Every structure is written in C-alpha cells, then in structure tokens.
C-alpha cells in the first residue's frame, strides 16, 4: 500500500513556500519594529526604483513649519524589481494590535510577514520583543493568529515565525506545536538558546524533533545557525529532515554563499564588494549601513579595509577602492541626496534644538487653541457652552492621536 503524501499547509496565492529553499536570514539591521513603521507614508521613489516608507526625522524641530529643512527619514525600503515578491518583512513586535497595524502597511508589497521571536539582543528583548516572546508563548500565539486572520488571509500572503530552541526538548516541542496551530506557513528554528552567542557552536540535537513536529502540522521548517554555504545547507537539510535553511553571518561576509559550487561557488571578496557598492549607489543605500556591511566583507587585515574605514561618503569610498568606472559622478549625486561628505549640513546643537522645539510648541499652541466664548452669567452662576465643556475634559480623554497613529492618507496599495 502506497503511503499518503505528508500534509502541507496551503501556501497563499501571493506567499512563498519555504520548502527546498536556502534563504537569507533576517538580522537586527534588517528588522523594523512595528511602532517605527506605524505612521509612515508610502512613496514610490522614481530615482531609485524603490518603495519607501518614510516619516519626518526627529532630528530638529517637531513642527516642520518651524524647520522647513526637516528631512524625511526612510524607515523601510524595498525594491520591487530586484526583490519582486520574494521579500519577507520581518517585524519586531510585542503586541498583536500594533503588529497588525504595521503589517497592513507593507502587506501588498511583500510575500509574507515573519515575526522575530529569536533576537537575543537588549534592543529587542527590553521591549518584550524578539527572544523575550519565548517567555510569553501565549502572547506570541495571539500575535501570530492576529496576523494570520487580519493580514495574511486578506492579502493572501504567508505568516511565519523565527524562534530559538528552549532549554529542554519537551519545552521546545510544546512551543512549536502551539505555534504551528496558529495558521502559520513556516517556522525557522535558530539552533541556539537565548543566552548563547554566535561564537558558541549551534546545538542541533533538537532539530529533528522540531522538523517532525512541523511536518505533522504541515508547516515548512527551516534551520538556522552555523550554516556557511549553500552546499552545506543542503546537506544539513537532508541530515536533519528540515525543509530548508537560512544563512546569516556567512552571508554578511560574502553574499555569494548562495551560489552552488557547480556554478562557481563563492566569489572573491573584491568582486562581491564592487557589486555591493554599485548596488548601494543605485538604490541610495543609507551610508552607515553600507559602511557597516563593507566592514564585514573586506578582510580586516587587508589594507583596503583601513582605507574604507577612513571614508565618510560614497565619493571618498569609490576613490579609496580605486574604482575608475565612471562611478564618481553617481557617488557625488548620492552624497548630495543623502547630505553626506562635502554636502553634509551643520547639525543643530542641543541648545539650538531645544530652542527650536520650544518655539514650535508655542506656535502649535497658538494655532490649535480656539478662542473661548464670552462667559454668560446667570442667577445660577456661569453658563458654559458644550464646546467649552469639551475643552475642559481631562487630558487623557481629550488628547490627540499620538505619533504612532496611522494617518488617513497612508497608502497600502502595491506598485
């Protein structure tokens, strides 16, 4: 008698099936916290070909009418033609309501939403996000169910989660079973406990169990931790019965780790760096992020590394790297757009920022405080209008929407 094929959770029409794939792992610099995204406005950037979610920078006055030079900060950026519908938006969250609000903004531009329940850094855990969610599994399940029902199903994209193993197999198994019951399409397990750091070898003794639990539920299971190449990833997937794997640190050092040996394998770092700089210029990548990753790609003992570290702009970078392929003109244009290098504007001092914000607050108070009606005296005392009564409401009732509120004009339409 022929065995029936294993059960699989249906993959949404616009989603991605993780099975058989070697994936770039999300890392802290590529994650966006839900509250940071909420309140942004979606723009299509015709110069870079990207979709940008932006908000006014907090560096300066809070009232743009006072500081007309206040810049919009790019909170999240994606490239439709380069990334297509293969991009998964990883979200940092500790609350189902804000998770849904943020995910709805990007849902039609991505192939899925992945909840970060594995980052061990205080940046995430101090707010109850990342690996802290492993200590509140009920909350994590509520977040996933909310995303599945309110974002995944309406937009026909997948919802997934990335976790770490717990101290014992029984604890991990219970967690994974509960997560698989929320309606997710994929689960990635980083084979380290929360206190472990990258220098400590990954622990894979729970991996087969996690893969089996996911398979029973029909959820795709990816492994992560100490995977250094595509070929090694495929071997580990076969050995432990997973559906796919993620590569993290090794991909930061050399993104060509995803190329099979049969197709040439990893490219020399010089080739990778040149392609990365070219791409960064074309999409006007944030200078700090570009320089950070170049610090991972260029060998620290190489003289090029020292030259790169001294640069403060793209123009200086292409000179330091000795590129003479016409990239200098583009580098200057990008420097000007990002206001770095010779185009960097003088930053406001703390005293100047304080004075500017104080002036902005006064203007806002004048603009938003209505003139009160004259008081009418009666035999019973002072008679107040309904408007006056409302103005006298306690601040916690009458307050305006906070900075994390979603403006009505925010667009969630895809390109």
When mean pLDDT is compared across 12-26, 43-57, 76-90, 371-385, the lowest value belongs to 371-385
Q: Are strands 50-56 and 72-78 parallel, antiparallel or unpaired?
A: antiparallel
Task: State the DSSP H helix or E strand holding residue 72, giving kind and residue range, or none if neither.
Answer: strand 72-78
Closest CA to 160 of 97, 116, 103, 109: 116
The pLDDT of residue 295: 97
Give the integer Cα–Cα distance in Å for 214 and 15: 18
pLDDT digits (tens, 9 = 90+) for 325-348: 789 999 999 999 999 999 998 877
Strand partners, 245: 22, 223
Show the tokens assigned to 85. 């519908």
Report the Cα 211 to chain-centroid distance in Å: 26
Count Cβ atoms below 10 Å from residue 376 Cβ, excluding itself. Answer: 9
Closest CA to 175 of 183, 165, 184, 185: 165
Closest CA to 55 of 37, 72, 31, 38: 72
Strand partners, 92: 33
Q: Active-site positions? A: 119
When mean pLDDT is compared across 55-59, 189-193, 251-255, 274-278, the lowest value belongs to 55-59
Half-sphere exposure of 357 (CA within 13 A, CB side): 12
Closest CA to 112 of 51, 206, 47, 187: 187
Contact predicate 244/208, CB 8 Å: no
pLDDT digits (tens, 9 = 90+) for 123-156: 889 899 999 999 999 999 999 999 999 999 999 9
Q: Is the pLDDT of residue 391 over 60?
A: no
Task: State the DSSP H helix or E strand holding residue 91, giving kind and residue range, or none if neither.
Answer: strand 88-92
What is the C-alpha radius of gyration for the chain, rounded to an integer number of angstroms? 25
Mean pLDDT value across the chain: 85
The pLDDT of residue 346: 82
Show the tokens assigned to 413. 């339409």
Give the integer Cα–Cα distance in Å for 55 and 37: 9
The pLDDT of residue 349: 78
Sign of CA dihedral 188, 193, 194, 200: negative
User: What mean pLDDT comes out for the span 61-74?
Assistant: 61
pLDDT digits (tens, 9 = 90+) for 22-55: 999 987 666 899 999 999 999 999 999 999 999 9
The pLDDT of residue 388: 33
Which of 66 and 108 is assigned the larger pLDDT?
108
Q: Is the pLDDT of residue 100 over 60?
A: yes
The pLDDT of residue 70: 62
**DSSP tag of 200:** S
As a whole-number percent, the residues of the chain with pLDDT over 90 amount to 72
The pLDDT of residue 335: 97
Residue 1's pLDDT band (cuts 50, 70, 90): low
Give the integer Cα–Cα distance in Å for 93 and 71: 26
Closest CA to 109 of 410, 413, 411, 406: 413
Show the tokens assigned to 268. 């020399």
What domains are there in the chain, each with its CATH number?
Answer: 22-266 (3.20.20.70), 270-343 (no CATH)
| Longest CA–CA separation in the chain, Å | 96
Q: Is the pLDDT of residue 393 over 70?
A: no
Closest CA to 9 of 189, 182, 188: 182
Is this prediction's pTM over 0.75? yes
The residues near 151 (Cβ < 8 Å, ≥ 6 apart) are: 100, 103, 104, 107, 113, 157, 159
Contact predicate 143/96, CB 8 Å: yes
Residue 15's pLDDT band (cuts 50, 70, 90): very high
């Amino acid at each position: 008698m022929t065995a029936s094929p294993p059960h699989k959770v249906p993959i949404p029409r616009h989603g991605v099936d993780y099975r058989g794939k070697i994936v770039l792992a999300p890392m802290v610099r590529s994650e966006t916290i839900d509250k940071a995204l909420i309140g942004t406005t979606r723009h299509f950037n015709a110069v870079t070909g990207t979709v940008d979610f932006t908000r006014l920078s907090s560096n300066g006055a809070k009232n743009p009418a006072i500081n007309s030079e206040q810049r919009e900060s790019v909170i999240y950026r994606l490239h439709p033609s380069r990334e297509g519908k293969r991009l998964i938006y990883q979200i940092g969250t500790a609350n189902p309501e804000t998770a849904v609000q943020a995910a709805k903004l990007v849902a039609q531009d991505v192939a899925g939403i992945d909840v970060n329940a594995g980052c061990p850094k205080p940046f995430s855990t101090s707010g109850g996000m990342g690996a802290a969610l492993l200590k509140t599994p009920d909350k994590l399940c509520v977040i996933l169910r909310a995303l599945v029902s309110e974002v995944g199903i309406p937009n026909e994209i997948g919802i997934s989660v990335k976790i770490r193993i717990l101290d014992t197999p029984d604890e991990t198994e219970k967690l994974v079973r509960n997560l698989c019951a929320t309606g997710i399409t994929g689960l990635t397990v980083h084979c380290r406990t929360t206190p472990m750091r990258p220098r400590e070898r990954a622990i894979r003794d729970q991996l087969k169990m996690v893969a089996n639990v996911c398979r029973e539920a029909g959820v795709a299971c990816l492994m992560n931790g100490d995977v250094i190449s595509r070929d090694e990833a495929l071997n580990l997937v076969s050995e432990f019965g997973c559906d796919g794997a993620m590569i993290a640190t090794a991909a930061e050092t050399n993104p060509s780790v995803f190329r099979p040996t049969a197709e040439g394998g990893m490219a020399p770092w010089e080739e990778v760096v040149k392609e990365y700089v070219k791409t960064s210029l074309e999409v006007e990548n944030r200078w700090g992020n570009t320089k950070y990753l170049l610090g991972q790609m260029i060998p620290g003992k190489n003289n090029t590394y020292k030259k790169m570290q001294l640069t403060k702009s793209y123009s200086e970078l292409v000179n330091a790297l000795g590129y003479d392929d016409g990239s200098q003109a583009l580098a200057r244009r990008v420097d000007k757009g990002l206001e770095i290098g010779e185009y960097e504007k003088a930053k406001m001092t703390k005293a100047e920022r304080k004075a500017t914000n104080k002036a902005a607050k006064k203007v806002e108070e004048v603009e938003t405080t209505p003139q009160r009606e004259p008081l009418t005296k009666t035999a019973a005392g002072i008679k107040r209008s309904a408007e006056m009564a409302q103005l006298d409401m306690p601040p916690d009732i009458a307050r305006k929407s906070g900075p994390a509120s979603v403006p009505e004009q925010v667009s969630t339409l895809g390109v």
